[in-house]
Amino acid sequence: MAKTATAAVRMYKSSVGEIEANRQAIVALLNARLADSVDLRSQVKWAHWNVKGMHFIQLHELFDSVAAHLEDQTDTIAERIVTLGGVANGTVRESAARSGLKEADLSASDGASQLKWLVHNVAHHANALRQAVNESDDLGDKITTDLFTSVTRELDKDLWFLEAHLQS
C-alpha cells in the first residue's frame, strides 16, 4: 500500500481547530481514501450491472447495496475534506488517476469470478482505511480518526457479506 502523499493541496480558510500543517496532511490523507472510494463504488456498480449466472438476483442486489454504502461513505469523506478547508478531488478521472485499487476484472461475468476481484478490492480499501485510522490519529485529528473507524467498520461488514458467498 502506497504511503499517502502530503504535497501541498489547495486550501481555504476554515475555523476548524486543526493547525495548518496538519490540515493539509489530513486533507491529502482523506483525498487518497476518497479516490479509492469513488473508484471502488464505480467498480461495484459495474459488477452490479454485469453479473450473470445462477445467483444473479442475489448478487445483483448485494452489489447494489454495497455500492449504496460506498456512496454514503464517499460523501462523508468528501464533506470532511471540505469541512477542513480542502478541495475534494472526487471526479471519476481524478479518482482513477489516484486510486490504489487494481482495475476490476472486466472479463468476469459469473458471480464467483466477480466476487473474487470485488473481495480483493474491498479488502484493499478497508485495509487502506485501517492505515488511515492510524495516520489521522498520529496527526492528532480525532474526528477524522473516528470517521475512518466508522467507515472501516461498515466496509468490513460489506466485505463479510461478499466473502461469505465464496466460503463453503
pLDDT of 18 reads 67
Residue from 30, 111, 105 nearest 73 by CA: 30
The boundaries of the domain holding residue 66 are 20-164
Whether 15 is in a domain gets the answer no
Whether 10 is in a domain gets the answer no
Whether 80 is in a domain gets the answer yes
Helix (H), strand (E), coil (C) string for 51-73 = CECCCHHHHHHHHHHHHHHHHHH
Whether 25 is in a domain gets the answer yes
DSSP state of 86: B
pLDDT classification of 6: cutoffs 50, 70, 90: very low
CATH number of the domain enclosing 159: 1.20.1260.10
The mean per-residue pLDDT over the stretch 48-74 comes to 97
Whether 116 is in a domain gets the answer yes
Helix then strand then coil, in percent of the chain rounded to 5, is 70, 0, 30
* Rounded Cα gap, residues 51 and 92, in angstroms: 22
* Rounded Cα gap, residues 115 and 62, in angstroms: 11
Whether 125 is in a domain gets the answer yes
For 100-126, give one letter per residue: b (16+ CB within 10 A) or e.
bbeebbeebeebebbbebbeebbebbb
pLDDT in tens, 112-139: 999 999 999 999 999 999 999 999 999 9
Whether 69 is in a domain gets the answer yes
Q: What are 16's three cell numbers?
A: 476548524
Q: Which amino acid is at 75?
A: D
The pTM assigned to this predicted structure is: 0.91
* Rounded Cα gap, residues 140 and 46, in angstroms: 37
**CA triplet 110, 115, 120: central angle to 5 degrees?**
140
pLDDT classification of 2: cutoffs 50, 70, 90: very low
Whether 93 is in a domain gets the answer yes
Provide the number of structural domains found in the chain.
1
pLDDT classification of 12: cutoffs 50, 70, 90: confident
Sequence-distant (6+) residues with CB within 8 A of 107 are 113
